[in-house]
Amino acid sequence: MRIRAAALLACMALLAACCDYGKPSPPEPEGSAEGQAAQEGEGTREGLAEGAPEGAIEGEGAAPGVCETDCIYEIVHSYPHDPEAFTQGLVFDNSVLYEGTGLYGHSTLRKVDLDTGSFFQAVDLPANVFGEGITLFGDKVIQLTWREKTGYVYDKASFQLLQQFAYDTEGWGLTHDGARLIMSDGSSTLYFLDPITFARTGSLSVRYNGRAVNRLNELEYVNGEILANIWQEDRVARIAPDTGRVKGWINLGGLLTAEERASADVLNGIAYDVQGGRLFVTGKLWPKLFEIRLLPKP
């Protein structure tokens, strides 16, 4: 039995100790990244900040003992994941994984058993709606849609649809910081929404060394940082919520084997178990979901 406070401190220390404040993952020549071809697609890296001098942001905002080199990960545990789940939102709460899936005619909100990857409660979205990011706020689940400009609010226990709300951008990722919903739309801007009225209350331009970081996708608020995976990339930006500055990168390349990757889509899905200090990641149509531990690069 873990003590919540101790676990929280431990996970804060873990994140602080393990994350890269120094520089982004080194750019890889097009097509050279083994096993990544399936997810590179036609995506360009235009607009993504790269090649910044090492140490340019050293120490800024860093917790004591932070790693200052590239971050690597190790897999703590590998779980099955529904290979037909086009994962668009991922949250962990009280031993349950909440997952929002996309694609027209296939979009769902579901509660998933971590150990088996099977869902034991689900609701289908209308066939003309493409489900996107989800977050839990109080006793509600909030789910975005891609181009429908409509958010759905459900009762967390029953998944009864309580209300809908409108927004004027695309909907991609969603998380919250305890007071505000934080939303991405595939650009370099994050939006803050009031969690009750869903009115936009602000926005954040996400930059790495002054350059816009585009294609921000699935989000997770972890220990005072916004984690955002970059669409069509195997990396996660660690964003300061007050400034939008990318403090460092987590390189998640190599989670799937080349064989697994062949039938999978891109990395998408970050969830954090606050009580247990566990970080989970998966992707669209991935056969596995991983608990990972972040470590400084040797």
Which residues contact Ca ion by CB under 5 A? 90, 220, 270
Question: CB of 239: closest distance to Ca ion in angstroms?
Answer: 13
Question: CB of 240: closest distance to Ca ion in angstroms?
Answer: 18
- Give whichever of 255 and 270 is closer to Ca ion, judged by the CB atom: 270
Query: Which residues is 203 bridged to in the sheet?
Result: 191
What phi-psi label fits residue 285: left (phi over 0), alpha (psi between -120 and 50 degrees) or beta?
left
Helix (H) or strand (E) segment spanning residue 110: strand 108-112
Rg (CA), the chain: 18
Q: How far lies 273's CA from each of 12, 74, 93, 108, 148, in Å?
A: 12, 17, 6, 22, 30
Question: CB of 270: closest distance to Ca ion in angstroms?
Answer: 5
Provide long-range contacts, Cβ within 8 A and 24+ apart, for 201-204. 204/239, 204/241, 204/243, 204/244
What sign has the CA pseudo-torsion 112, 15, 28, 207? positive
* Cα 127 to the center of its chain, rounded Å: 25
Question: CB of 82: closest distance to Ca ion in angstroms?
Answer: 17
Which phi and psi angles does 16 have, rounded to 5°? -65, -40
Question: CB of 70: closest distance to Ca ion in angstroms?
Answer: 23
Question: CB of 138: closest distance to Ca ion in angstroms?
Answer: 17
- Give whichever of 90 and 237 is closer to Ca ion, judged by the CB atom: 90
- Give whichever of 25 and 88 is closer to Ca ion, judged by the CB atom: 88
As given in the structure block, the two tokens for residue 205 are: 């331009």
Alpha-carbon distance 247 to 86, whole Å? 29
Question: CB of 101: closest distance to Ca ion in angstroms?
Answer: 13
Alpha-carbon distance 62 to 68, whole Å? 9
Question: CB of 18: closest distance to Ca ion in angstroms?
Answer: 19
Q: What is the dihedral of CA 67, 72, 78, 82, to 10 degrees?
A: 110
Residue with nearest beta carbon to Ca ion: 220
Which phi and psi angles does 262 have, rounded to 5°? -60, -35
- Give whichever of 71 and 183 is closer to Ca ion, judged by the CB atom: 183
